[in-house]
Structure 1
């Protein structure tokens, strides 16, 4: 299989990436005081936007203030000087993030940026905002930001711990690193679970369901990676919402859907108590309308470990699908019609756009 960007190596390097980001990526400047923050707004698109979903799922339950994820240009009207704006853009030039950040600064918000430079970096410099600057290197290959989620997320989690928003952050990050290494070892074995699942999914369009905010974030990641790595259609839904609407749609056209759709259920220990019954309903009602129903159970201690465990599993499934289809997993020409202006390192923080 062609792999022009070394994408498989980057995906399998997630444990070391998280560890390097934890130890090496630091905040320049001073974070605001805990009591100065009434709400947190995370800005980002693409992989950076998904990192916002991770923060909401993992840190959100611990936070004494609301955390909102925003993935478009016009930020919410509540933004004011008590808002901490976490703006994430690997390149610093994602137009939606740059525009929303500018509007937030005009409203007096406090900025915390994660970027390698660009327009976002200039805004952070101009306002003397606390910033995590991702390293830039002279690299011949541009590894996509979706392979660098650890470098984008971990510095924010560390900052949240310092602010009192993510208590025990060091321990949760360490647990995630441990689980990622264990999962990678499993998925490096011949005929592993990811390869088996990819064989079952090949030739169909995966529909991915998860429960709660963690399951929602995991489902979005699986969908995005199947779309971008395997260049294949995929969709996602979140329980309990699925059982209050979408499930009614499976009453028709089963003769068609069972030829082209597979269902993947992502399970984790942070699920709401009702999730067990909801998943049971889904399996009952879709049993005859799907090519197959497959369950993946997260492992690890804590929400961060379990979410990243599901992420790595799904990323490898997408790689295996790409290999089966003979597709280069890294480039996404339809999303990146012109070459990036610069290339970013393949170390912690190595990433190219968004």
Structure 2
């Protein structure tokens, strides 16, 4: 079984050098500010001039693109593609609306792909740091930019990176009602934050369940896919532990078979985390329950989080909020600074 943690014994201010936990708790306030910033965006293309939308990003920025696709994609009349890497798809051209996402503004894959999009004649919108190279390019090209708040840690900017494009898509007529969805999400994040601060903290409970095991995070459908991958990323980046994620129905076609061997080993090292939400397809919900039943005896423990809030965006951001805090809880309980990511920086430097 997993080992209990005691975060109460940790000096948070000393260990959390960048105040990551506080940044997460301020997320509803940041989103409220973004609603105002989104109203000032102009120079966007006309809806009728756009045949496809391409979102460029890497890491958490690309996951922000996945979030946009999961929330807005089903309502859009044109295809939405998330692109990771240097070389753009060949279809990108004057009828493409490109949204470039980079918290730092210096992600080399994103910068190079955005330059290629500009050369291809695509319409551009950048969501980035006001001090980064991507913002400089936007100024030179006279293309619109939504600046990210300067006081926000780049590690927690997935949500602002995702919400700002939703506002732009609403302005263009591709995603009507985005502001209403965001308002509902802000309200839910405020409720969740207040509950956490008053002691009703599912993140801490799940962190104690995980202990020193390795989390396997499962979700359902596009919403669950984004949420589970975000949890995995934050366990990797923040808690500095191996973690794995997948989603129903995809895992039902492959991964479920992998639990058929070595149960005596897996039940010592893995904890399954189930992320559930109200938008699950009925078939996915039934399969999720079956997967939970089939894997119950081959994991050390199980934790379940049911999303709260009204609307798809609110429930997805609620799952992400709890996951971000859970990763911080694990890091702090082990005396690990959740902020710096030296391994990522070391690999990144090799490409320069």
Give TM-score, length-normalised by structure 1.
0.90
Q: Any stretches of 5+ residues in structure 2 without a counterpart?
A: 1-11
- The aligned counterpart of 2:315 is 306
- The aligned counterpart of 1:46 is 59
Task: Give the 3 Å change call, closer, same or farther, for CA 190–135 of structure 1 in structure 2.
Answer: closer
Q: Work out which of the residue numbers 78, 87, 90 in structure 1 matches 2:103.
A: 90
Task: Give the 3 Å change call, closer, same or farther, for CA 131–27 of structure 1 in structure 2.
Answer: farther
Q: Work out which of the residue numbers 221, 228, 234 in structure 2 matches 1:225.
A: 234
Distance 2:261 2:191 in 1: 42
Query: Which secondary structure does the structure 2 equivalent of 1:41 belong to?
Result: strand
- The aligned counterpart of 2:290 is 281
- The aligned counterpart of 2:8 is none
Structure 1 residue 221: Cα displacement: 0.8
Structure 1 residue 299: Cα displacement: 0.8
Structure whose residues are more often helix by fraction: 2
Task: Give the 3 Å change call, closer, same or farther, for CA 216–162 of structure 1 in structure 2.
Answer: same
Distance 2:26 2:347 in 1: 27
1:329 is the counterpart of 2:352? no
Task: Give the 3 Å change call, closer, same or farther, for CA 214–338 of structure 1 in structure 2.
Answer: closer
Distance 2:114 2:85 in 1: 11
Distance 1:256 1:189 in 2: 38
Contact 1:27 1:130 survives alignment (8 Å): no
Q: Deviations over 1:246-281 (max 9, x none)?
A: 101111010000000011111111112211211122
Contact 2:38 2:167 survives alignment (8 Å): no
Distance 1:191 1:112 in 2: 39
How do residues 1-354 of structure 1 correspond to structure 2 at under 5 angstroms? 1=12, 2-25=15-38, 27-115=40-128, 116-136=130-150, 144-190=153-199, 192-337=201-346
Distance 1:73 1:27 in 2: 30
Structure 1 residue 25: Cα displacement: 4.8
Greater RCO (CA < 8 Å, at least 6 residues apart):
1
Structure 1 residue 322: Cα displacement: 1.1
Contact 2:126 2:138 survives alignment (8 Å): yes
Structure 1 residue 191: Cα displacement: 6.2
Q: Any stretches of 5+ residues in structure 1 without a counterpart?
A: 138-142, 341-354
Distance 1:118 1:145 in 2: 12
Task: Give the 3 Å change call, closer, same or farther, for CA 177–135 of structure 1 in structure 2.
Answer: closer
Structure 1 residue 188: Cα displacement: 1.9
Query: Which secondary structure does the structure 2 equivalent of 1:335 belong to?
Result: helix
Task: Give the 3 Å change call, closer, same or farther, for CA 330–165 of structure 1 in structure 2.
Answer: same
Q: Deviations over 1:162-218 (max 9, x none)?
A: 111111111101000000011112222336322111111011000011111111110
Distance 2:31 2:307 in 1: 18
Distance 2:200 2:236 in 1: 23
Structure 1 residue 285: Cα displacement: 1.5
Give TM-score, length-normalised by structure 2.
0.91
Structure 1 residue 328: Cα displacement: 0.9
Structure 1 residue 75: Cα displacement: 1.4
